[in-house]
Amino acid sequence: MTTEVNFAVTESEADGTPVLAVQGEVDVSTAPELRERLLALAEAGRTVAVVDLSEVSFVDSTALGVLVSGVKRLRSSGGDLRLVVTQPRISKVFEITGLDDVFRIFASAEEAVQA
Amino acid sequence: MTDASWAVLGDEAIHERDRVELSLPARPELLFLVRMTAAAVASRADFGYDQIEDLRLAIDELALTICGDEPQAGRLQLLFKWSEDAIEVVGVYEADSGESRPELVLAQPANELSARILDALVDEHGADAVGGCPRAWLRMRRRKGSRA
């Protein structure tokens, strides 16, 4: 038996910057895949990346922890992890945890890439 | 699960009829079932959209408090109760026979972020251990004007 999970990560590149577009619910079950994708970018020598959460409907503390680990890793290499957040529900989670002061958050992937 | 395991948030205002019990394997990939149940209960209790979404996130964090982020051999037992004014949830980890889980005997929010989320979204929450198993609970009161 398999459990269908509403989650996907699609990687693309814009102006030389990797963009991870995440869809669905990012929780304790799915966050490890996002962690692996971010780790793979860092190991490939990428120092700047964008995670597009505009198609994400749910994040929990596990997902936030993965993103915090990712931004720490990239910033320690002189880079950054930029986020795209458009859903009010997701914005709220960043606000109540204070992480809106930690991440650079943009309204579109284009803005995040050009920043 | 004994009645004593649920006896955390005693509130006579909540009618015993309005209660739902959910029991499932304590595995991360099944956590969505807990969120679905929370949303259904909040909807049934006529809570508004924002509070339903808040409860979905809070119950997720409550489950992480009890079970951690790794698959466990035991089961997660949840009791949902609601009234005109509030929704209460108590969750208990029921260990598999012979399972020893000393690392989670003193349950606490999974991490600092989890604690901040629970502090912000619910009116009361807490965690302890009952019979050596982690237990956590929360209460969310209806906000003014929060009706579906």
On whether residue B147 sits in a domain, the answer given is no
Put simply, whether B61 touches A (Cβ < 8 Å) is: yes
On whether residue B84 sits in a domain, the answer given is yes
Q: Return d(Cα A96, Cα B131) in angstroms, integer.
A: 34
Cβ(A25)–Cβ(A58) below 8 Å: yes
Task: Give every strand in the sheet of A17-26, ordered side by side.
Answer: A7-14, A17-26, A48-59, A80-84, A104-106
A28 contacts in B (CB within 8 Å)? Answer: 28, 31, 60, 64, 69
Q: Determine whether the interchain pair A96/B117 forms a contact, defined as Cβ–Cβ distance below 8 Å.
A: yes
Residue-wise DSSP of A16-78 = TEEEEEEEEEESTTTHHHHHHHHHHHHHTT--EEEEEEEEEEEE-HHHHHHHHHHHHHHHHTT
Predicted local distance difference test score (pLDDT) of residue A2? 42
* Domain locations in chain A as residue ranges: 7-114
B13 Cβ contact partners less than 8 Å away, ≥ 6 residues apart = B83, B84, B85, B86
On whether residue B9 sits in a domain, the answer given is no
On whether residue B109 sits in a domain, the answer given is yes
On whether residue B148 sits in a domain, the answer given is no
pLDDT tens per residue across all 148 residues of chain B: 566 566 666 555 555 668 899 999 999 999 999 999 999 999 999 999 999 999 999 999 999 988 888 888 889 999 999 988 899 999 999 887 766 654 554 455 567 899 999 999 999 999 888 877 889 999 999 987 766 6
On whether residue B121 sits in a domain, the answer given is yes
**Structural domain count, chain B:** 1
**Does domain A7-114 match CATH 3.30.420.10?**
no
Q: Return d(Cα B94, Cα B1) in angstroms, integer.
A: 8
Q: Determine whether the interchain pair A29/B31 forms a contact, defined as Cβ–Cβ distance below 8 Å.
A: yes
User: Tokens 């969120």 sit at which residue?
Assistant: B35
Q: Can you state the angle between helices B49-67 and B112-121, rounded to 10 degrees?
A: 140
Nearest CB partner across the interface for A28, out of B64, B117, B121: B64
How would residue A25 be classed by pLDDT, with cut points 50, 70 and 90? very high
Structure tokens, B143: 């906000």
Q: Determine whether the interchain pair B113/A28 forms a contact, defined as Cβ–Cβ distance below 8 Å.
A: no
Q: How distant is the Cα of A110 from the closest Cα of chain B, in angstroms?
A: 29
Q: Determine whether the interchain pair A60/B64 forms a contact, defined as Cβ–Cβ distance below 8 Å.
A: yes
Q: In B26-35, which positions are buried (b, 16+ CB within 10 angstroms) versus exposed (e)?
A: bbbbebbbbb
Predicted local distance difference test score (pLDDT) of residue B16? 61
Structure tokens, A19: 């963009």
Predicted local distance difference test score (pLDDT) of residue A67? 97
Q: What is the pLDDT of residues A68-101, one digit of tens each?
A: 999 999 999 999 999 999 999 999 999 999 999 9
A66 Cβ contact partners less than 8 Å away, ≥ 6 residues apart = A26, A31, A32, A34, A35, A38
Domain that holds residue B69: 19-141
